[in-house]
Amino acid sequence: MLSLTHYLVLSAVLFGLGVFGVVTRRNAIALLLSIELIMLAVALNFTAASHFLGNADGQIFAIFVITIAAAEAAVGLALVISVYRNQQDVDLDRLTVLKG
């Protein structure tokens, strides 16, 4: 039987990998994937806490987090495609299109 601690440790590892990806990646698609990993770690936290506390509040919040993550992915990929069409590259260090 897995305890809440197991889920929290797994979520912390996923969150740490996501933060590491955000800090070290220069590719926009890898950055978006890292942000998704962070959001899924938060959803896992909510779901595990909800299960062990015996109420559905955390699961409802997890559904909202997953919905926001899907919307973020759609908008982020649209931006990446738009930038790629203009510059033929998605390297974030060379990105100057969005500077005002």
* 40-99: pLDDT as tens digits: 999 999 999 999 999 999 999 999 999 999 999 899 889 888 888 877 877 777 776 666
Mean pLDDT over residues 32-40, rounded? 93
**pTM for the predicted model, two decimal places:** 0.83
pLDDT of residue 80: 84
Q: What is the pLDDT of residues 2-34, one digit of tens each?
A: 899 999 999 999 999 999 999 998 888 888 899
- What span, in angstroms and rounded, lies between the C-alpha atoms of 43 and 62? 5
* Strand, helix or coil for residue 18: helix
- How distant is the alpha carbon of residue 82 from its chain centre? 21
pLDDT of residue 51: 93
